[in-house]
Amino acid sequence: MIVRPHQHWFTRLFVWHGSVLQKIYSRLLLNLALSISVIFFLPWYEALGIKLTIAPFSILGVAIAIFLGFRNSACYARFNEARTLWGQLAITQRSFLREAKSLLGTDERQIKHFVNLQTAFCHALRLTLRKQPNEATLKKYLTQEELQWVLKSHAPCNRILQLMADWLADKRKQGLISDVVWSSLNHHLNELSAVAGGCERIAGTPVPFAYTLILHRTVYLFCIMLPFALVTDLHYMTPFLSVFISYTFISLDTLAEELEEPFGTEDNDLPLDAICNTIERDLHDMDESENLPEKLRPNRHYQLS
């Protein structure tokens, strides 16, 4: 995610990092080359007796803009829901540790183990959603036996939840927590499971492909044919207007593709590394640990991963 300080409106016009322009500039250059070519071939084009007018493109442009708006709204809703789920994850883990610590605060070793399990859960969820290897990260928080058991599963988050459930069950057997308190703590486990399930639903259910495909094809066909309609009236101004209109439509299409998959590592995706870092710092701070992880900050391109 791009995290920038407030900028003057004129300075923002020339921002490069965080803009989809760095992805689509080659396509805009192709549109520019096509527009220039159309100007040179205008006499031959008119000799054929074929003439495109602006009228159909005006109607089609409005239709494309409306459907792109709907698609971007749908994709942003997925992004917003994903961010809400990760916010709920942070809240639940803090509440979970606070209740557990209030009951078992004197057993520092057990609380530290529980903090490690919670930290392992958020990192496992992050790595699973991004389809990245998780062994190197999880071995920092789990024992060797726990790690091997978790890695055997195709759903490591579920295994870590089971480890936390076993931890609670063990305290219940020891008589350290009552059935009522156990039920309250177990509710937090269910909330963590719901968050993981919600994230998996978003990651595993993209916007219907046919809907995305028809918009994608229409946008690019529109941008390819546009110079032929503009050149008769605009002549040498055709490249400027064609590239500007193409930039608007192609950038909206590209931005929707980024927002559709909010758990990736692109500029406009959720900063899952930073969220996990914040959760880990909060949990260790609640445990009064002296070795807090260093806070992640945006890189020189203002990107927070």
Classify residue 117: in a domain, yes or no: yes
138 close to 157: Cβ distance less than 8 angstroms: no
Classify residue 85: in a domain, yes or no: yes
Domain coverage including residue 113: 55-206+275-290
Beta bridge partners of 2: 303
For residue 8, give the amino acid letter.
H
Classify residue 20: in a domain, yes or no: no
Classify residue 198: in a domain, yes or no: yes
**Structural domains counted in the chain:** 1
Tokens 């009552």 correspond to 178
Listed as ranges, residues in the chain with pLDDT below 50 are none
Classify residue 180: in a domain, yes or no: yes
Q: What is the DSSP string of 95-164?
A: HHHHHHHHHHTT-HHHHHHHHHHHHHHHHHHHHHHTT---HHHHTTTS-HHHHHHHHTSS-HHHHHHHHH
Classify residue 30: in a domain, yes or no: no
233 close to 249: Cβ distance less than 8 angstroms: no
pLDDT value at residue 106: 57
pLDDT value at residue 105: 61
Q: For 262, phi and psi rounded to 5 degrees?
A: -75, -10
Beta bridge partners of 303: 2
- d(Cα 57, Cα 63) in Å, to the nearest integer? 10
pLDDT value at residue 272: 93
| pTM across the whole model | 0.89
Cβ neighbour number for residue 109 with a 10 Å cutoff: 7
Classify residue 259: in a domain, yes or no: no
Classify residue 179: in a domain, yes or no: yes
